[in-house]
Amino acid sequence: MLIISEEDVLKNYSMKQCIEDVERAFALSKRSEIVIPFRTLMHQGDDGAHTLYMPSFVPEINYSAVKIASIFPGNEEYNVPRIQSTIVLSESKTGQHIANIASSALTMLRTGAISGVATKHMAREDARILSVIGCGVQSFGQILAIMEVRDIDKIYLYNRTKIKAFDLKEKVTKQYPNWNGEILIVDSANDAVSKADIIVSSTSANTPVFSGEYVNAGTHINAIGSCEPTKQEYDVATLKKANKVVVDTLEGARVEAGGLVIPNEKGEWSIENIYSELADIVVGEKVGRENIEEITLLDSVGVGFLDTVCAASIYESF
């Protein structure tokens, strides 16, 4: 079995390649019978600690994989990463387990790439201002992906603990030494939202972190943090204002996307108003954006077959 470290992933796998793989994976999901058993979530404590087990089988590329991802909010106390994950990749002719891939970096890249694909198809072509709400581990991948598909010249950062925003600013500045853009740290989420062409909401919030009344016409929103039915990053006003609400999978959204599940259960908004899955837009069955005034929203909870396709691509690069 090939052992692939986090360093190997970061050295050999670019965000550009990851976006291409994620887009290809969504297209594969429309033309072949991908097997996606519903993922298992195991809670481990009162502080929100949990582990996810996400299997999938992609027959067209002859690989299957199981991703194990642990999210432990209290890990800062122990100087251990909050999110840790690994992928066991198998080839599907004999079932041999051919690679164990440390996948925290891959998760960051793949999660970013979903937003990158959505932004590519749904944001305005002239979108230049990105606002990021929540500056944790995943936010860096979000910025990498969106910088890949749009010519961003200004980034606003907001985080409840401001030091994380400064840390992210430093990391992005080092990543793009020749970029002539500007990174500004603001004091409120609504301030960041009011300035944005593209919004990324990357938090673990249980209640909305910004108000829809501050979202401007023509904005695209990537909401990637609330992957449990009890979490809600954006409010009902945002949902009602959005012209198109898109999800990575309908099955996952109906069960895990708290931003949709909570208002649906309260009768404030119907989950039947979901416009499409992202795959429908990728293959051209649905239109991502029809005019410059539309507000579009992707609510992403993640899906296992994306990890399988990306893991296979990394394995084949060795």
Other residues' Cβ atoms within 10 Å of the Cβ of residue 174: 8
Q: Which residues contact 104 (CB under 8 A, 6 or more apart)?
A: 6, 81, 83, 84, 85, 137
Would you say residue 7 has pLDDT above 90? yes
Would you say residue 226 has pLDDT above 80? no
Q: With helix as H, strand as E and coil as C, how does 151-174 read?
A: CCCEEEEECCCHHHHHHHHHHHHH
Strand order in the sheet with 198-201: 182-185, 154-158, 129-133, 198-201, 220-223, 296-299, 244-247, 276-277
Least confident of 76-90, 165-179, 200-214, 285-299: 76-90
CA-nearest of 311, 212, 220 to 259 is 212
Please give the Cα distance from 135 to 138 (Å, whole number).
Answer: 8
Q: Report the chain's mean pLDDT, rounded to a whole number.
A: 95
Tell me the pLDDT band of 67, cut-offs 50, 70 and 90.
very high
Would you say residue 227 has pLDDT above 80? no
85 token code pair: 């994950």
All structural domains of the chain, each given as residue ranges with its CATH number in brackets, are: 2-106+305-316 (3.30.1780.10), 122-303 (3.40.50.720)
- CA-angle at 149, arms to 185 and 301, nearest 5°: 75
Tell me the pLDDT band of 152, cut-offs 50, 70 and 90.
very high
Tell me the pLDDT band of 32, cut-offs 50, 70 and 90.
confident
Would you say residue 302 has pLDDT above 90? no
Among positive and negative, which fits the CA dihedral 164, 166, 172, 175?
A: negative
Is 243 in a helix, a strand, or coil? coil
Other residues' Cβ atoms within 10 Å of the Cβ of residue 53: 14
What burial letters (b/e) apply to 299-313, b meaning 16+ CB within 10 Å? bbbbbbbbbbbbbbb
Q: Are 64 and 58 in contact (CB under 8 A)?
A: yes
Q: What is the mean pLDDT of residues 40-49?
A: 86
